[in-house]
């Protein structure tokens, strides 16, 4: 008999409301109204300081109202494409659409608190599914993107969820955190101060801090707990490391991991006289000190090694695809392979090819400056095309062919007007593309 499938989104992936007023939704963000409106939105998201793992007071409560269905962007903190494609495809693949349930949650709050909410949701939804199917042996399969994987793992391994769970499937989950979170909480991005202050009140964001040695010091790589950075208190880093440690598999529940690669991904940070220097590579040390710089490319948000459960000895069981973090839930090949895991089928094999692209797309470009897009692949003679489409007016689009950059990659420059644009990069003759959002202005 079929199991219930529960989709658990990542951070910023759920609609949030206060009463009848929408506080966070795709329509709010993609309206491209400018930084001041972003500040207004994020001010409404701010929480009391040091909230911990508890629920907020009534003045700060927001109610989840479904998964986001389209592109969303929080300046300096990240973007995502929503979950409409994933949910729709999963329902089309299965013979029973009601088999797929959506768990929306307040993504500002502690993952531990959300895991308790997931426990109540799962117990209720699974009981209804078992009654509908007249099958008391039906279980739940979690399909999780990004931070959603941390929530589901905590429920399964710490709150008794293993008794109801058949398997956990994660996509782009930062098992050891993301350096992009360091950039957000320290104000090391172009994120306005008001937004940084609001972000620092969100427990869940702190729990995405790296638990690996991400700080480059004169003595070598160190953890945030050992080498705290301005704007990040040691207890924040310790709490993130504790959550990651608590997630380790304890009860033998099967875990299937999908991760991204090929895209430049921040893997470390160093304090310099000019501020913060973010590294795309990380030193490999030997008896004589640093002997090489390791390429730690991932999905643009999570380094490849951080997308692997830390209790795993290696990544031989990980399925890699060259898909950026924001677009993973919408990638049809990836979702098809997720379905194969749900049904315990043999999934497609993930193989590196010369036409797989890793792309670098800036998050923000000041008005009047060109949007510089870079791509890399395994072949030097591909025809690479870059297309930018305005989210305000989809008929407003530009296309340019990327030229070889002389270093084995490809480069294109686009002159885009103010607003939010989706930039997609593809190899001519190949069906798939890789892309992300850029805010101009």
Structure confidence by residue, pLDDT tens digits, 69-124 = 888 777 666 778 899 999 999 998 876 767 999 999 999 999 999 999 999 999 99
Structure confidence by residue, pLDDT tens digits, 319-366 = 998 899 999 998 988 998 999 999 877 654 444 556 678 888 888 898
Structure confidence by residue, pLDDT tens digits, 384-417 = 999 999 988 888 889 999 988 887 789 999 999 9
Q: How far is CA 175 from the centre of its chain?
A: 11
Structure-block tokens of residue 362 = 């800036």
**Burial of 430 from C-beta contacts in 10 A (0-12 / 13-18 / 19+):** middle
Structure confidence by residue, pLDDT tens digits, 251-288 = 889 999 999 988 989 999 988 887 888 888 766 655 55
Structure confidence by residue, pLDDT tens digits, 118-155 = 999 999 999 999 999 899 999 999 999 999 999 999 99
- Report the C-alpha gap between 6 and 168 in whole angstroms: 10
Kindly indicate the confidence band of residue 31, based on its pLDDT and cuts at 50, 70 and 90: very low
- Report the C-alpha gap between 341 and 58 in whole angstroms: 41
Q: The pTM is what?
A: 0.86
Kindly indicate the confidence band of residue 1, based on its pLDDT and cuts at 50, 70 and 90: low
DSSP 8-state class, residue 52: T
CB atoms within 10 A of CB 279: 16
pLDDT, mean over the chain:
86
- H/E element, 145: strand 140-145
CB atoms within 10 A of CB 222: 14
- Report the C-alpha gap between 17 and 40 in whole angstroms: 14
- % of the chain exceeding 90 in pLDDT: 46
Kindly indicate the confidence band of residue 36, based on its pLDDT and cuts at 50, 70 and 90: very low
* Beta pairing, strands 433-440 & 364-365: parallel
CB atoms within 10 A of CB 417: 13
Structure-block tokens of residue 314 = 């290696």
- H/E element, 424: strand 419-427
Burial state string for 85-112 with b = 16 or more CB within 10 A and e = fewer than 16: bbbebbeebbeeeebbbbbbbbbbbbbb
pLDDT at residue 35, rounded to an integer: 45
Report CA Rg, the chain: 21
Residue among 77, 103, 109 nearest 207 (CA):
109
Mean pLDDT on 28-41: 53
Structure-block tokens of residue 227 = 């080498």
pLDDT at residue 236, rounded to an integer: 84
pLDDT at residue 275, rounded to an integer: 80
pLDDT at residue 30, rounded to an integer: 46
pLDDT exceeds cutoff 50 at 214 = yes
| Angle subtended at Cα 77 by Cα 284 and Cα 299, rounded to the nearest 5 degrees | 45
- Report the C-alpha gap between 213 and 245 in whole angstroms: 15
- Report the C-alpha gap between 234 and 218 in whole angstroms: 20
Mean pLDDT on 186-200: 81
Q: In what order do the strands lie in the sheet with 275-279?
A: 220-222, 215-217, 268-272, 275-279
- % of the chain exceeding 70 in pLDDT: 89
- Report the C-alpha gap between 10 and 208 in whole angstroms: 11
Mean pLDDT on 302-326: 91
- Report the C-alpha gap between 237 and 242 in whole angstroms: 9
List, in order, residues 6 or more apart from 214 with CB less than 8 Å away: 177, 179, 182, 221, 223, 224, 267, 268, 269
pLDDT at residue 107, rounded to an integer: 97
pLDDT at residue 435, rounded to an integer: 84
Higher pLDDT, 167 or 192: 167
Place of tokens 């702190």: 206
Mean pLDDT on 278-307: 74
Tell me the three-class secondary structure of 345-408, residue by residue: CCCCCCCCCCCCCEEECCCEECCCCCEEEEEECCCCCCCEEEEEEECCCCCCEEEEEEEECCCC
Q: Are 149 and 163 in contact (CB under 8 A)?
A: no
């Amino acid at each position: 008999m079929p199991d219930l499938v529960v989709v658990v989104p990542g951070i910023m992936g759920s609609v949030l409301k206060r009463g009848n007023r929408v506080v966070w939704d795709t329509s709010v963000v993609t309206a491209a109204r400018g930084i001041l409106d972003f500040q207004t939105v994020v001010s409404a998201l701010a929480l009391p300081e040091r909230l911990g793992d508890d629920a907020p007071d009534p003045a700060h409560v927001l109610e989840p109202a479904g998964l986001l269905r389209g592109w969303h962007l929080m300046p300096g903190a990240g973007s995502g494409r929503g979950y409409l494609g994933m949910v729709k495809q999963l329902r089309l693949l299965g013979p029973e659409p009601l088999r797929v349930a959506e768990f929306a949650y307040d993504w500002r709050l502690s993952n531990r608190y959300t895991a308790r909410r997931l426990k109540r949701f799962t117990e209720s939804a699974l009981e209804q599914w078992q009654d509908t199917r007249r099958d008391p042996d039906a279980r739940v399969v979690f399909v999780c993107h990004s931070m959603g994987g941390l929530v589901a793992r905590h429920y399964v391994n710490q709150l008794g969820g293993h008794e109801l769970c058949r398997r956990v499937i994660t996509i782009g989950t930062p098992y050891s955190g993301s350096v992009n979170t360091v950039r957000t909480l320290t104000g090391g991005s172009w994120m306005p101060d008001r937004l940084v202050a609001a972000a620092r009140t969100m427990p869940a964001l702190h729990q995405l801090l790296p638990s690996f040695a991400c700080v480059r010091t004169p003595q070598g790589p160190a953890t945030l707990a050992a080498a705290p950075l301005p704007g990040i208190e040691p207890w924040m880093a310790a709490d993130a490391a504790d959550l990651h440690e608590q997630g380790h598999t304890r009860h033998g529940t099967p875990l299937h991991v999908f991760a991204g690669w090929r895209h430049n991904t921040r893997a470390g940070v160093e304090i310099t006289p000019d501020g913060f220097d973010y590294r795309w590579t990380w030193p490999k040390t030997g008896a004589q000190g640093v002997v090489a710089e390791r390429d730690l490319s991932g999905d643009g948000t999570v380094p490849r090694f951080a997308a692997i459960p830390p209790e795993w000895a290696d990544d031989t069981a990980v399925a890699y695809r060259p898909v950026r973090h924001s677009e993973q839930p919408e990638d049809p090949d990836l979702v098809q392979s997720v379905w194969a895991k749900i049904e315990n089928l043999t999934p497609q094999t993930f193989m590196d090819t010369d036409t797989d692209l890793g792309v670098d797309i800036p998050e923000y470009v000041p008005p009047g400056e060109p949007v510089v897009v870079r791509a890399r692949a395994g072949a030097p003679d591909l025809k690479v095309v870059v297309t930018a489409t305005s989210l305000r007016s989809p008929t407003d689009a530009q296309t340019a062919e990327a030229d070889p950059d002389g270093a084995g990659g490809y480069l294109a420059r686009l002159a885009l007007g103010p607003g939010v644009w989706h930039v997609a990069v593809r190899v001519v003759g190949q069906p798939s593309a890789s892309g992300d959002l850029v805010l101009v202005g």
